[in-house]
Homo-oligomer: A and B are copies of this chain.
């Protein structure tokens, strides 16, 4: 169950309108790696966690914080849209050389659809998708992903920071950069805690019995590109990170371990191109129907 407080977690006001930047901010609000994604991803992982206690609560607590970041970004976007030009004609009249660039780079849906407000879509207007959420039920896999989500997020905010001179916007982004910094660390620490608690390890999922793998293929880095530079990294000869004591090795020219790709003939009621009617077309025998 959730409660809302009308104060913002952090706030900063822009010096003036900038509809172009308002649109760019949509990326970190409703894009694949934006605040909507981390909020929903952490909450779903928390709700689905079957292990109660510190991990589940950390997910729910952090997802709840991220909802407050969604709120902050919506607020900034709405402020940046205040006083945005309504038409080409208005843009031309003000005779400000930057306005043509701003008008062209603004998001028409911000005005037509949302009445100068934010929405859960990215900087190209593609709606936020539930497919952006991953909640696998395996906390180590998910914590590692959460750490990378914060990396992608901080990277995008850092780029936005270079795209404006407005001190109010920059102040807000400085806060988000710090929280992405913290959350990167938090998920790295949580992944380590999972290992320290003996709950999982590498390769994820550690519980799958390794003897069930075709283990001969588990330590061979294969070079499917030409040249030799693939052999120059620690992945091509260093100790295997899975703690098995084995070394990774390089396969310079991978071989095919299967034969030619062929298929059985197919059911004629599907009206596919019938096999067997041209010379040399030896398909597989049909598998026995059950």
Contacts and interface: CB of A to CB of B under 8 A. Distances in A.
A4 to B, nearest CB: 4
B50 A272 contact: yes
A199 B83 contact: no
A225 B185 contact: no
Contact of A3 (B2, B163, B289): B2
A160 B212 CA distance: 13
Interface in A84-111: 84, 86-89, 91-92, 94-109, 111
Interface in A64-80: 64-65, 67-68, 70-72, 74-75, 78-79
B175 A214 contact: yes
In this complex, which of A16, A74, A178 has the most chain B Cβ atoms within 10 angstroms of its Cβ? A178
Interface residues on A, range: 35 or more
A167 interface: no
Interface in A180-198: 180-182, 184-186, 188-190, 192-194, 196-198
Given A131-B129, A159-B115, A184 B202 contact: yes
A184 B136 CA distance: 17
Interface in A47-75: 47-58, 60-65, 67-68, 70-72, 74-75
A50 to B, nearest CB: 4
Contact of A57 (B180, B185, B225): B225
A21 to B, nearest CB: 7
Interface in A1-16: 1-16
Given A114-B48, A287-B15, A193 B234 contact: yes
A50 B1 contact: no
Given A60-B4, A129-B129, A9 B254 contact: yes
Contacts of A284: 13, 79
A224 B272 contact: no
Interface in A144-181: 144-145, 147-148, 151-152, 154-156, 158-165, 171, 174-175, 177-181
A80 B20 CA distance: 21
Contact of A214 (B178, B241, B261): B178
Nearest to A216: B178
B151 A148 contact: no
Interface in A238-290: 238, 240-242, 248, 254, 256-278, 280-284, 286-290
A51 to B, nearest CB: 4
B229 A203 contact: no
Contacts of A122: 109, 125
A97 B171 CA distance: 31
